[in-house]
Structure 1
């Protein structure tokens, strides 16, 4: 999740990855350009456009760009003292988190004009949504299910694999009734049952991670889904490509 926080990576429980949860491999359908300066924290696809948030103090922004060539069409910078985190669309707004500041913002989806601020306890890592609720990760095994208007916590779901809590839940995306979550500092995505928190499968991103990762910072992080076109996209921090992938049957 963060630059150089190796101690947090140690907290990741390796047992679930080696246990009985099935593994799905991927097939790359197409590769698109991605800004190698973008420290990707959040990603979603809407109305034919990709929306992305980036992190690092002094470099955090929210941007809208064309998928086909990566051209940025609109961008807004966060105040330089903030570390930007996950984003999600809700109606005509973008909801965004910051890492350790305890607050986030609502932005106009069309203009990217910043609106009101809201607060939350603890860290903010990522956001996704269902039709009725927002889902938030904070690096722990616990996902917060939130009211999209008040940001009030409605309930919590603990994510487990074979009964073991899964640490470092990072970027999220809601896809066909499941929550997909990058596991920070690994090449895996967890496919999570939102009702029980159980990991139904691991998605193995190692083929694309091997092409893109050259340091501890440029890890896989970023999942977006085009529901209309049934297309799934992944990328990572400082990666040169954003990949459209197809999930193959679990083994």
Structure 2
């Protein structure tokens, strides 16, 4: 699998999304950003991406659909070096790495699977109520952050998976629904918004959206024909950049987040 580097010039894609267009920039405290493509990498077009996260140089990806759900690990842009399947009828969702383990959510099965980070072998299953969508880990204050497709983020203990609290996510006072795949970066949480090309940056202590990121225009018309929605955001280690992709996308994109022009 080859890697395409965008070297002639950085490519800025997208324009302000629908939500941004309906906001008066003068009256909003939400920063408006868009993606600037630095590099294109191949992605398995059969992967129904539900979770994406780096741990060191290893990229972990959780995929969904009954009978096709997996957890994969390996270098970004290359064939995974390890892949394990979730048995039917489980439908895989978000993932996150916590120390020497990986948590993997399921959609409506009410089960979180704990795996060994290195071998991906299953260690145990923990039950929870409601749907599982996205998941990430905040090292400080030491908690998991989980989405369920609503405007609520739920906090969980990273060792027991027990619920410890929740917060409603709002943008200028309006609830933000369909929070999907999550990425924790320091004190902030980034969330894909289902059925859109937008990503929001959230203060998880207050639930306030502090930035809306337009990630539209990454795939061309032919690529879009076989692809599903944008879903998958991973902070690139040692940089301020992100790797983003989507369900059944043939590519991943290493991007900078820059002000909308």
- TM-score, with length taken from structure 2: 0.86
**Contact 1:213–1:219 (CA under 8 A) maintained in structure 2:** no
Q: Following the alignment from structure 2 to structure 1, what is the Cα–Cα distance between the partners of residues 22 and 243?
A: 25
Q: Following the alignment from structure 1 to structure 2, what is the Cα–Cα distance between the partners of residues 221 and 51?
A: 14
Unaligned runs of 5+ in 1: 1-13
C-alpha RMSD of the superposition = 1.7
Alignment equivalent of 1:75, drawn from 83, 88, 92: 83
SS of the residue 2:120 aligns to: coil
Partner of 1:134: 144
Alignment equivalent of 2:100, drawn from 85, 92, 108: 92
**Contact 2:45–2:249 (CA under 8 A) maintained in structure 1:** yes
How far apart are residue 16 of structure 1 and its match? 7.1
SS of the residue 1:72 aligns to: coil
Unaligned runs of 5+ in 2: 1-17
Alignment of 1:16-55 (within 5 A): 18-19=22-23, 20=28, 21-55=30-64
**Contact 2:146–2:154 (CA under 8 A) maintained in structure 1:** yes
**Contact 2:241–2:257 (CA under 8 A) maintained in structure 1:** no
Aligned residues: 236
Partner of 1:188: 198
Q: Mark the structure with the bigger radius of gyration.
A: 2
Q: Following the alignment from structure 1 to structure 2, what is the Cα–Cα distance between the partners of residues 195 and 139?
A: 19
Q: Which range moved further: 132-141 or 221-230?
A: 221-230
Q: Following the alignment from structure 1 to structure 2, what is the Cα–Cα distance between the partners of residues 15 and 201?
A: 12
Q: Following the alignment from structure 2 to structure 1, what is the Cα–Cα distance between the partners of residues 160 and 186?
A: 25
1:199 aligns with 2:209: yes
Partner of 1:159: 169
Alignment equivalent of 1:144, drawn from 127, 130, 154: 154
How far apart are residue 214 of structure 1 and its match? 2.6
How far apart are residue 151 of structure 1 and its match? 1.2
Partner of 2:67: 58
